[in-house]
Amino acid sequence: MDARLNLLDNPTAAKFLKRVIALSQAVKDSPLPATTQELVAIRASQINGCGFCIDMHTKDAAAAGESSVRLNLVAAWREATVFTEAERVALELTEQGTRIADASGGVTDEVWNRATEHYDEDELASLVCLIAFMNTVNRLNVIIQQPAGDYRPGQFG
């Protein structure tokens, strides 16, 4: 199975993708815990049906020492007891921020206020930027039907 379009071979798409990926470095370098970053990336990707990003982020998280139990329970985080309260609110913020088009009304004040109890302003900014970034790359991959399964941990540096 091949993608409909090779984003790296197309000059316009490659320029766009280079800039989008460069933006993600700000989040990677932020004080937001790396574990939380991977959980958020996985959850947004699950909601958006982006197999490529699910493949990438679950493998990177596992390579960084994340347990298979936690990785397998991201989709059912509400019923799982393996996530901290901070991780749970990050996952809820991810869901509400990702499902804007589902007439959900966006992120509720309740969820935002709970997030402020666990994250400082820089971490909150990082969460918001990460959620927006993941939704962008998820959509790129879903539109072009980027195949999943062949990603190797750390493949993109």
What would the pLDDT profile of 108-130 be if each residue is shown by its tens digit?
A: 999 999 999 999 999 999 999 99
Q: Once rounded to an integer, what is the mean pLDDT over residues 54-62?
A: 97
Q: Once rounded to an integer, what is the mean pLDDT over residues 42-67?
A: 97
Range with the poorest average pLDDT among 10-14, 59-63, 100-104, 139-143: 100-104
At 63-106, the pLDDT tens digits run 999 999 999 999 999 999 999 999 999 999 999 999 998 877 89
Q: Which CATH superfamily is domain 11-144 in?
A: AhpD-like (1.20.1290.10)
The model carries a pTM of: 0.95
Produce one character per residue of 65-87: b if its CB has 16 or more CB atoms within 10 Å, e if not. ebeeebbebbeebeebeebeebb
Contact 40, 130 (CB under 8 A): yes
Token readout for 108 is 């509720």
